[in-house]
Amino acid sequence: MKKYFAIVLALTLCVSLLAGCGGNQDKDTTKDNDTTNTTGTTAPENSTPDTTAPDTGDTTDTGDTAEPSDTGDIGDATDTATDPKADLSPAEKIVDSYYGYSYDAGGMIMTYFFHFYPEIQGLGAVYYAGFAMNQITFSGTYEVVEQETEYACWPSREAVTSAGEGATPPVGTAPYAINFYDMDGNLVDTCAFDGDNLYEDMEAITGIGGGNAVYARDVDPETSALKSDYDGEIATPLLSLIDPNDETATLDLLVNGKYNDAVIMFVDGTYSMNEDQSEITLTPSSESDNGATVTKNEDGTYTYTSTDGTEVIMNVVGAAKNIAYLYKGEIAVPGADVMGDLICELYDDGTARIYASAFGSELDIDTADSYDIDMESYVITVHFNTAGDIATAPYGVSMDYAATGIEVFGDVNTTLNMVTE
């Protein structure tokens, strides 16, 4: 997701950044997106956490060969004496790892990184990408596939500046590829990968100043030069729920497998789901906090049940409502010799809204928390919060709406007709 700050940042640093962009238009290679030979992204049971701090010094590789000997400013991750993941396959190395790239742009350290999470039950293997100091971010799912993949990347920042303006990045081939997907499973982009290096020459997932570059695996994120940027990762919500009777009672499931629970009291932790994501298990970070199960109901709501027995019915935040019945009439626009539309929408969740629409803008007139239908006469009675109970004509063909003291419009007295197409 590109942010406004990134545009400002790009303008401020345009001179130093343009030297390193390289441009994907300079690349004369293509990627093979065949994903039939999938290696998977499950963490090995016997893998151990990285414990060696990376070399944060700059390199002097000039990039004359297609195979880089240096992998960015976070250090060379291929030292087998200090890398406990050295003997693992690329698909195993990527799990719970960071791949980063940084450089000094006129006194400002520009940082770029990918974070690959272990597989989350019911969601898949999730990634996060933060470019230009987390001002441009992406997230979704990923898979590692064993297939030779070409790339066009500079082996170091020094190679970029040494090559001069207009030079094209050296090309090479890696034995693996990473396929990046959105949360709906659509393929977004692909890059070459060898386990120790991620070759970022993508077009859809990239950020100004961070393209056509080699991102090195950080063998010790906890002491990394990019630690503050890792900590600044912006995890977007996968699902946000709210108690309709208490707007402070919320639950956010984040795409990185973590959650923030403020239904009873604030609790954080991790979650897992079943295959169709209809049952969610919340596991708190602290053993002293309550966990919960969250079950999706047929009407689209969710039932939150705490381990202490508390049960709450929650709605999806921002969920679109389906219109069950639609009425339309006219309303005079104050201060203008024109008529606007007066629209009443009755939703399938039993609520209703009536609003004025003119010149591309909408202004609420009234709302209703419920309505009833007489199944003999098919008269619909809407229980408006301002106008009170208003009944339609038989078979719901029309509605006479009347209310006084409506802000901006004053008194409103209009007939609305059912829209059937």
- Residue 74 confidence class, pLDDT cut points 50, 70, 90: low
Report the distance separating Cα 299 and Cα 348, nearest Å.
Answer: 9
Whether 237-316 shares its CATH topology with 323-418 is answered yes
Tokens of 164: 């001069």
**Residue 176 vs residues 87, 100, 142, 217, 272: alpha-carbon distances, Å:** 16, 18, 13, 15, 29
Sign of the C-alpha dihedral computed for residues 140, 257, 276 and 146 taken in this order: positive
pLDDT above 70 as % of the chain:
79
Lowest mean pLDDT: which of 174-183, 194-203, 332-341, 379-388? Answer: 332-341
Give the domain ranges of the chain: 4-231, 237-316, 323-418
Is the pLDDT confidence value at 104 over 60? yes
The answer to whether the beta carbons of residues 411 and 405 sit under 8 Å apart is: yes
Is the pLDDT confidence value at 337 over 50? yes
Is the pLDDT confidence value at 68 over 90? no
Residue type for position 411: D
Is the pLDDT confidence value at 23 over 90? no
Q: How far is C-alpha 93 from the chain's CA centre? A: 24
Q: What is the DSSP letter of 90?
A: H
pLDDT in the model for residue 343: 96
Report the distance separating Cα 1 and Cα 118, nearest Å.
Answer: 22
Architecture of domain 237-316: Beta Barrel (2.40)
Residue type for position 272: S
Report the distance separating Cα 153 and Cα 73, nearest Å.
Answer: 14
pLDDT in the model for residue 14: 38
pLDDT in the model for residue 407: 84
- Residue 369 confidence class, pLDDT cut points 50, 70, 90: very high
329 vs 13, residue with greater confidence: 329
Residue type for position 225: A
Is the pLDDT confidence value at 255 over 80? yes
396 vs 183, residue with greater confidence: 396
Q: What is the pLDDT of residues 285-336, one digit of tens each?
A: 999 999 999 999 998 899 999 999 999 999 998 666 678 899 999 998 887 7
pLDDT in the model for residue 76: 40
Kindly report the number of other CB atoms within 10 A of residue 299's CB atom.
10
Is the pLDDT confidence value at 188 over 60? yes
Is the pLDDT confidence value at 12 over 60? no
pLDDT in the model for residue 319: 61
pLDDT in the model for residue 411: 92
Report the distance separating Cα 373 and Cα 380, nearest Å.
Answer: 5
| CATH number of the domain located at residue range(s) 323-418 in this protein | 2.40.128
- Residue 373 confidence class, pLDDT cut points 50, 70, 90: very high
Kindly report the number of other CB atoms within 10 A of residue 399's CB atom.
22
Q: What is the pLDDT of the chain when averaged over all its residues?
A: 82
Tokens of 231: 């900590």
- Residue 26 confidence class, pLDDT cut points 50, 70, 90: very low
Q: Tell me the DSSP string of 268-314.
A: EEEEEE-TTS-EEEEEESSTTS--EEEEE-TTS-EEEEETTS-EEEE
Q: What is the DSSP letter of 336?
A: S
The answer to whether the beta carbons of residues 264 and 310 sit under 8 Å apart is: yes
**Residue 415 vs residues 195, 342, 343, 369, 390: alpha-carbon distances, Å:** 68, 9, 11, 21, 12
62 vs 277, residue with greater confidence: 277
The mean pLDDT value for 220-245 works out to 91
The answer to whether the beta carbons of residues 139 and 123 sit under 8 Å apart is: no
Is the pLDDT confidence value at 376 over 90? no
Q: Which of 57, 226, 62 is nearest to 131 (CA)?
A: 226
**Residue 118 vs residues 44, 143, 354: alpha-carbon distances, Å:** 10, 11, 47
Angle between helices 4-12 and 14-21 (to 10 degrees): 100
User: Which residues are CB-neighbours of 107 under 8 A, at least 6 positions away?
Assistant: none
Query: Sheet of 398-406: strands edge to edge?
Result: 388-391, 380-384, 361-373, 352-358, 339-347, 323-332, 410-418, 398-406
